[in-house]
Amino acid sequence: MSNRRRSTKTIQATRFSLLLLEDGEWFLDDHCACWYLEPWATTPKEVPGRLKVCTRGLFFVPHDLQVPILRFPFRSMDFEPMAECFGPIRTHSDISNTNGSTKTGPVVYLTFKTQQVIAMRTRGIDHPYIYKSTTNNGDVPIERNAQQNICCDLFFGKNKLPAKYVFTLRHVTIEAFLASIHVVYRVSTMSPRRALTTAEESTPLAPVLSSRWTDKFDPSLLVDFRERLLMERGCVADRIEPLLKFPGCLMLTTKRLYFEPALLNNVLDLVLNWEYTKVDQVYKRRYLLQPIGLEMFLSNGDSFFFSFRSPTERDDFYALLVEQPELQRCCRQDLQYMMRQWQRREVSNFEYLLFLNNASGRTRNDLTQYPVFPWILCDYTSPELALDDPAVYRDLTKPIGALNDERLAYLKARYEGMPRGAEAEELPPPFLYGTHYSTPGYVVYFLLRKVPEYMLCLQSGKFDAPDRLFRSVKVTWDGCLSNHADVKELIPEFFDCACPADEWLRNMKHLDFGSTQNRDRVDDVVLPPWAHGSATEFVQKNRAALESDYVSDHLHHWIDLIFGYKQQGDEAVKADNLFYYLSYEGSVDIQAIADPVQKCSLEAQIQEFGQTPKLLFSTPHPSRNESSVDVEVATPDLLVSPRVQVPYVRKSLFVDEMSKSRFQRRYEGTQTALEEYTESEGEANESSMPVYDRQNSWHQYSLICSETSLQCFPITIKAVSARLRKSIRSGKARKKWKWKSRLRTKYSLSVSWGWKQSSASQLHKGEVTSTVLSRDGSFVFTTSKDCSLKMSSTKGVTPFRSVSGKFALSCCDVSPDESIVLCGSWDNSVYMVSARTGQVLDMVVAHSDGISAIRVLQRRFLTSSWDSSIRLWRYTASAINVTPIRTFLDCEESVWCLAVSSNEQFGAAGTRNESVYVFNLDAAVLYSHAQVSSEECPSGISSVSFANDNKSYVCITMRCEVFQCNLRGEKLWSMEVHTAGPVQCFDSDGDYAVGGTSAGSIVFWKLHERAGAEEVFELPRAHEASITCLAVSCSGSLLVSGARDGSVHVWKLEQKLPLHHPTADPLCWSRGSEKLPSGSGTLTSTLASTTRTSTSMHFRHKSRMETCEWVTAHDTFRPIVQLAEAQCCLEC
C-alpha cells in the first residue's frame, strides 16, 4: 500500500483517522477540550484532548496515548448534549485578578448521558473496538487514578462505565458548539428503531454539508503572486485514498495545480499544490465503474486520485490541464510497443503485468481497482521448490474458479438454472461466479498485518473470524480451489522484492487476531516449507517462478482472461470466466439513476463485488515467443497519458546479441563478482543511429525511461534495459548501483569485473572532509581542513578551480543543476560558491557551532551542526535567505550526518547518541525518531543514507553496526561489520553498501545476506591513511575516496578480458616467480602490497598518478605504478 504523508499532521494528530468513522459518516469540526472525570470534586481530574464532531457522534481523542479514543454515538445518548453549571470550584479556567487573588464562580460545562461508549486505539494500537455499556451511577467519585481506571475498565474490568460525561471547551463557547451539532443530532436520532442509511441522511443533512462544499477557490493560497487563475471557478472533486474520500476544490493556474480541501473530512489538511514541471503522468480513470476519475503521478513517485461529479467536468478539467505548456511535450503509452519489449525480454513478466494493470485502470488508491496478479504455483507442501518441474505451476489457461472440476460442475449447473432475459423484472443476468477475483475485502485480507485499520474499517471495528483470516499460504490456496465463493487472485506484493515481505507476512505489530477452532493461534502467515521460514525467500521464489520459462510460455493465456478478449461476452462464457454483471464497465449508468437510495445501493454493490479491469485487447494476446504476431487494441484512445519529456533520454532501438546474452545472464543466477552494466554500449548504439530516427523515436520511448519506485503503483517500467535507465532530472539523481553478484562458473570466468584505480592526487594539504560527485561523474567537489574547496576532473584528479577561506571547511554539496556549491565551515557559516566562476556569492551564519553536514535540494538546503540543531533554508541562484524556513530542535545530541531522499521529501539526521531523526521536508515537521542501537554507551551514527526507493534508510554506527530502517524508524535489517578499523565513511543504495575504514581499506557489502556473508569485496589499503569520506556515482561505476593525509583517489569499475583456463585457477596473481592463486570458495582480493611503500613514496612527489594496467595470470608488477585492482570470486 502506498504510504500517505499528510503535510500538517503531527505524530499525535495521526492517532485520529477517518477510518474510525462509519461508512457514510462525515467529519465536521475539531475542538480543544478537557474531559472531567470528577467535576464535582474540589480538585477535578481532567483529561486534555480533542473533541471531534461527526455527523453520527462525537469522538474524544486524549493527548495521553495510554487512554483510548472514545466514541459517543448520538443514537446512544439519552438526550441532546447540553450546557450545565456546577458549584463554585477552582479549575484551570480560573482567572487571576491584578491583586494576585483568584476569581471563583460557576463554570459552564458540556454534558451528556450515553448508554454506550466505544473505545479505539489504546496506546496507538489498532485493536478491535471495545463496546462498553454504561451505568447511571455516574455521580459516584472515582477512587483510583482516573486515566488508569478507565483503561482497566475498558480492557480488563467487567464493571460498566459512567453514563454521564462532562467536558469543557476552549476557543469556542458552549452555545456555539451546541448550535453546530443540533441538526446532526436530530438527523441521527430521527429513527428510534434503526440507523438511517447514507441515502436517507443525505436530504436532512444537506443544509449542514452543502455550506461546506464550495467551488470558490481562495486566491490568497497561491504560491506565486505572478500566477494567473485559468478557471473562473474551481472544480469540485474528491481526493480518493483507500476507503477514504476527501472533498475539495481543484484549480488550475499558469504554473500549478491546486487542491483546496473543503471544510468536510478535513483532518488539518492545508491546500495542496503541484508544479506542472513535476507532473509525470495524468490518466483518465474510472471510479465506481463511472468515467469520472483522474489520476496524477509525480516524478517523485507519489500519486493522487480524484473523482469528479460528472464525466463532462472530468473531461473539461483534463483537457485544460494537458494544454499547459509544461505538459505539451507528451506522448501516449503504446501497448504494442510494450508488448514487443516484453517479447524481446527487455521487460520482465512482473513489469509487464504492472504495465497492463496500469493501462487497464488499476490503482493502489482505490481498493476496488487494486492491481491483480495470478496465482503461479500450486505446490505449497514440498520442502524444496523445483522451478524446472511443470507440475509445480498452476494452469494459467483457466481462471482460478475453473481449476477444480467438481466445483466448476456445480457452478455451471447453477448458471444453467438461472433465468434468462429477466432484467425487466429486476433480476440480474446469469453469472458463473457471484464474487470477483479482486475485491477490497481480498486486498485487505492479504494486507491485514500491514494495514489492520483497513479491516477494522470494513468489518465495523473488528477483525474477521480467525478461521477466515490470512493465516497460511497453503490454506488460502486450498480455499481458492475448493470454496465456491472464493476465486481470489493475488496482489503484486507476492512478487515485489522491493516491498519488505515482513511487513505483510509477519505480525510485526503484535496484533491479537485470536485462535482458530483448532485452537491454533493466528500470528505470522504460515509459509510453505520451501520458504524455510523466511518471508523474503518466499517472495523471491514467487518472483523467480513468475519469471520462469514455463510462466513466460503460458502467461498470455491468463492475460486473455483478465485483460483480453476472454474477459467478457461469449468468449468469457466459453472460457468459464463470467462474473456478476456489476463488475463490468458499462453494465449500469449510475449517472442516470435519480433515486438516491437505489444509486447508493448500486455503489455499495460495486464496492463489494470489485471491478473487472478495462478491456485492453480484443484479439488473442501472442505468447512471449511469437514476435511476429500482432494484437488488436480494444479501444483506440485507451490510454491518453501526458508525460513530460526531457532531453537526452537514452532510447533502446534494437536488441543486439550482447544485450540478449546479458539479459539471459541476469536470470541464470550463476553470477558473483561485482558487476556494473556500463552505458558505453548504449551510447555506441545510439550514436550509430540516423539522426532522424533518434529524434523521432523519442515519442515511443519516453514512458519507459522514467525511474519510479516499484512499491508505488503504477510503475513506469524501471529496468527495461541498461540503456533505458535515465532519471527525470527534476532534482538529485536517484542512486541505483548496478552491481550484481556474479558466480564463477565451474570451468571459466566468462566476464570479469574489478575496481581499478584510474587516478590519484595529493589534492589537499589537510584532511579531506567531503567528496561530492557531479551527476555524470566527470567532476568531483572536495573540501578539506586546509580551508579550501576544490573542483577537479575525475580523469586525473586535476583541480581546475579552487576557493580558500580562513577556517576549515567541514562539508559541501552541489545543487541539482550543479551551478552552485554550498560549503559548511567551522566558523558556523554556510558559503555559496558559483561552480562556474569560483566566486563566493553569499554567506550566512547558520548555527551557533560548526556546520557538521549540508544537503542541497532544489531551492532549499538542509544544514546540521554540532550544536544539535538542524535548519532548513531557502536559496536562489545568487543568494541565501537569511531566515531559515524551519529550525528543528528535536535532536538531543550533536548531529553528525545528514541525508536527503532523492525525491527531496524526507531528510534524515544521525546523532552522537545513535539516534536517527527523519523529517518531512515538505511539511517541515519531525516524521519519526529511532534509537537504532540499544547499547548503554552509544558511539554515534557516522553516516546515514537513503535507499534508492526512498522508503528506507541505511545507517552505520561508530561501533560498526549497520541498520536498515523504514521511514517510521522500524528496523528492517541489521548486521555487524568486521573490518580492520572503524568505518569512518559510508554510503548505500539500499541493496549494497560501501565504507571506508580507518585502516585505509574500502569494503563492499551486500545487504540482506545471511550473517557472515555480507562482505563481498574489499580494496585493502586503498589509502595509506584513514579514509574520511567517499562518494559513489549514481550508477555505481565510479567511486572517489578522500583520506586524512589529503589524498583523493578515483576508482572505476571496469571489465577485464575474459579468462579461459579449465584446468587452472580462474584467476591468479604473479610477482616474478611467486604465484598467489585465488582460493576456491573464498573471497580473493589481492594487491601489490610489497611495492606499496615505494609506490606511495613515489606519488608523494607527483600530483597526478599514471594510469595503471590490468594484471592477469602472466603479468608482473611494475614498481612505479600503484596497483589497486581486485577481483571478487565467490562460489556457493
Give the tens place of pLDDT for each residue, 840-867.
999 998 988 889 999 999 889 999 998 8
Same domain for 320 and 341?
no
Q: What is the CATH number of the domain that holds 798?
A: 2.40.10.480
What integer is the mean pLDDT of 552-568?
96
Amino acid letter for position 273? N
Q: Please report which helix (H) or strand (E) contains residue 405, including its range.
A: helix 405-416
First to last CA, the chain: 36
Q: What is the pLDDT of residue 588?
A: 79
Q: What is the pLDDT of residue 699?
A: 29
CB distance 465 to 30 below 8 Å = no
What integer is the mean pLDDT of 428-456?
94
C-alpha cell at 36: 472531567
Nearest C-alpha neighbor of 1116 from the set 1057, 1054, 1068: 1068
Same domain for 481 and 405?
yes
Instruction: Return the exposure string of 217-256: e unless at least 16 CB atoms fall within 10 Å of the residue's CB, then b.
Output: beeeebeeeeeeeeeeebbbbbbbbbbbebbbbbbbbebb
Range of the domain at 835: 762-862
pLDDT tens-place string over residues 985-1042: 988 888 888 999 888 899 888 887 777 666 777 888 889 889 999 999 888 889 999 9
The Cα-based distances of 645 to 884, 1035, 1066 in angstroms read: 34, 22, 47
Same domain for 803 and 721?
no
Q: How many domains does the structure of the chain reveal?
A: 5
pTM of the model: 0.59
Determine the 3-state secondary structure of 392 from DSSP.
Answer: helix
Instruction: Select from 862, 884, 913 the last residue of a domain.
Output: 862
What integer is the mean pLDDT of 1117-1131?
33
Unique residue bearing C-alpha cell 534524515: 908
pLDDT over 50 (residue 640): no
Under 8 Å CB-to-CB from 637, ≥6 apart: which residues?
A: none
Under 8 Å CB-to-CB from 843, ≥6 apart: which residues?
A: 829, 830, 831, 832, 880
How far is residue 1100's CA from residue 858's CA, in Å, rounded to a whole number? 40
* Sign of the CA dihedral running 613, 614, 620, 623: negative
Same domain for 352 and 501?
yes
Determine the 3-state secondary structure of 1056 from DSSP.
Answer: strand
Please, is 749 exposed, middle or buried when counting C-beta atoms within 10 Å of its C-beta (0-12, 13-18, 19+)? Answer: buried
Same domain for 737 and 786?
no
Instruction: Select from 331, 348, 382 the last residue of a domain.
Output: 331
Q: What is the pLDDT of residue 475?
A: 96
Q: What is the pLDDT of residue 329?
A: 57
User: Minimum mean pLDDT among 70-74, 414-418, 746-750, 822-826: which range?
Assistant: 746-750
Q: How confident is the model at residue 1097 (pLDDT cuts 50, 70, 90)?
A: very low
Q: How confident is the model at residue 335 (pLDDT cuts 50, 70, 90)?
A: confident
Nearest C-alpha neighbor of 752 from the set 1081, 1005, 1020, 1066: 1066
CB distance 462 to 469 below 8 Å = no
Q: What is the CATH number of the domain that holds 405?
A: 1.10.1540.10
In a domain, 526, yes or no: yes
In a domain, 223, yes or no: yes
CB distance 1046 to 768 below 8 Å = yes
Nearest C-alpha neighbor of 716 from the set 354, 350, 335: 354
Highest mean pLDDT among 181-190, 263-272, 743-752, 1097-1106: 181-190
Instruction: Return the exposure string of 23-58: e unless at least 16 CB atoms fall within 10 Å of the residue's CB, then b.
Output: ebbbbbebbebbbbbbbeeeebbbbebbbbbbbbbb
Same domain for 34 and 175?
yes
How far is residue 643's CA from residue 317's CA, in Å, rounded to a whole number? 17
Q: What is the pLDDT of residue 713?
A: 37
How big is the CA angle at 111 (ends 192 and 179), to the nearest 5 degrees? 75
Same domain for 598 and 666?
no
SS (H, E, C) 130-187: EEEEEECCCCCCCCCCHHHHHHHHHHCCCCCEECEEEEEEECCCHHHHHHHHHHHHHH
Under 8 Å CB-to-CB from 130, ≥6 apart: which residues?
A: 68, 118, 119, 120, 154, 155
pLDDT over 50 (residue 647): no
In a domain, 384, yes or no: yes
Please, is 651 exposed, middle or buried when counting C-beta atoms within 10 Å of its C-beta (0-12, 13-18, 19+)? Answer: buried
In a domain, 430, yes or no: yes
In a domain, 8, yes or no: no
Same domain for 432 and 308?
no
CB distance 495 to 715 below 8 Å = no
In a domain, 987, yes or no: no
In a domain, 165, yes or no: yes
Same domain for 524 and 544?
yes
In DSSP terms, 1056 is beta-bridged to 752
How far is residue 152's CA from residue 159's CA, in Å, rounded to a whole number? 10
C-alpha cell at 1104: 597526478
How far is residue 989's CA from residue 1102's CA, in Å, rounded to a whole number? 34
Instruction: Select from 609, 639, 671 the last residue of a domain.
Output: 609
C-alpha cell at 748: 571459466
Q: How confident is the model at residue 932 (pLDDT cuts 50, 70, 90)?
A: confident
pLDDT over 90 (residue 396): yes
CB distance 1091 to 1111 below 8 Å = no
Same domain for 345 and 324?
no
How far is residue 282's CA from residue 276's CA, in Å, rounded to a whole number? 11
User: Minimum mean pLDDT among 100-114, 546-560, 566-580, 582-596: which range?
Assistant: 100-114
State the Rg of the chain over Cα. 32
Same domain for 340 and 253?
no
The whole-chain average pLDDT of the chain stands at 78
Instruction: Return the exposure string of 1002-1019: e unless at least 16 CB atoms fall within 10 Å of the residue's CB, then b.
Output: bbbbbbeeeeeebbbbbb
Q: How confident is the model at residue 3 (pLDDT cuts 50, 70, 90)?
A: very low
How far is residue 498's CA from residue 972's CA, in Å, rounded to a whole number? 12
pLDDT tens-place string over residues 1033-1081: 888 889 999 999 899 999 888 765 444 443 333 333 333 333 333 333 3
Q: H-type helices in 585-710, by residue range?
A: 596-609, 657-668, 680-687, 691-696, 698-701
Q: What is the CATH number of the domain that holds 154?
A: 2.30.29.30
Residue 135 sits at φ, ψ, to 5 deg, of -125, 150
pLDDT over 90 (residue 677): no
Nearest C-alpha neighbor of 1038 from the set 680, 724, 731: 680
How far is residue 129's CA from residue 73's CA, in Å, rounded to a whole number? 13
How far is residue 315's CA from residue 561's CA, in Å, rounded to a whole number? 30
Q: How confident is the model at residue 42 (pLDDT cuts 50, 70, 90)?
A: low
Q: What is the pLDDT of residue 331?
A: 55
In a domain, 632, yes or no: no
Same domain for 186 and 231?
no
How far is residue 34's CA from residue 641's CA, in Å, rounded to a whole number? 51
pLDDT over 70 (residue 371): yes
C-alpha cell at 546: 513468475
